[in-house]
Amino acid sequence: LNRALLFADTFLRACAEQGWTPVVPPPPEPPDPRHYYGRPPEPKPHVGPHYAELDVNGHRIEFHIEEPFDLREQPPTQADLNRQKRDSWFRPQKRHEKIWSGRLRLKRPGYRYPYGIDGKSWYDTRGRTVETLIPRILADLQAVAARMQEKDDELEREKRERERQAKLA
């Protein structure tokens, strides 16, 4: 956790040097107002802030910093085994423990429509850490913002052309 926070701080400082600012993520979606079988709608569970967005030259680019983990199944407790012996119908609930890997990964999701940009991730390997990849990450974010700007300009030109054709018609 400490390393992830230090990496996030370093990454955001490098972004600030580029003139890019973090953007507040959009608010969570409200629950569906329809009632199902006479019950009020259930609110969507709050999973917490698991991502952030950067304003890169006027375009919002999302990124995630995560640490993979493995789930290890825990053996049942002695109390569960005693109860299972006493009550033949009882099955102890399976418990799991998270084993954190210690490797960090920064992910940028893809933007399919209308930009056609695939997602990308940078992660720790045996020979390098994700902190050494910050210049590559910044270059990629700059390229993504440039591609988004090109596509927005192209869509704007097409829109103006359609409007001009409609006037002529």
**What pLDDT was estimated at residue 151?**
93
Helices (H), 41-108: 78-86
> How many H-runs (helices) and E-runs (strands) does the chain carry?
3, 7
Closest CA to 145 of 65, 12, 53: 53
**What pLDDT was estimated at residue 112?**
81
**What pLDDT was estimated at residue 44?**
66
CA distances from 140 to 54, 81, 104 (A): 13, 54, 18
Name the residue with tokens 């290890």.
72
Return the H-helix or E-strand segment holding 14: helix 2-17
**What pLDDT was estimated at residue 36?**
65
Q: Going residue by residue through the chain (169 aa), what tens digit of pLDDT does each one get?
A: 888 889 999 999 999 999 999 988 777 677 666 666 767 766 666 655 556 789 999 899 989 888 888 999 999 999 999 999 999 899 999 999 999 888 999 999 888 888 889 999 999 999 999 999 999 999 999 999 999 999 999 999 999 999 999 999 8
Q: With contact defined as beta carbons under 8 Å apart, do 69 and 100 qualify?
A: yes
> How many alpha carbons fall within 13 Å on the CB side of residue 126?
0
Closest CA to 8 of 45, 50, 48: 50
**What pLDDT was estimated at residue 24?**
81
This prediction has a pTM of: 0.73
Q: With contact defined as beta carbons under 8 Å apart, do 84 and 92 qualify?
A: yes
Helix axes 2-17, 134-168, angle to 10 degrees: 50
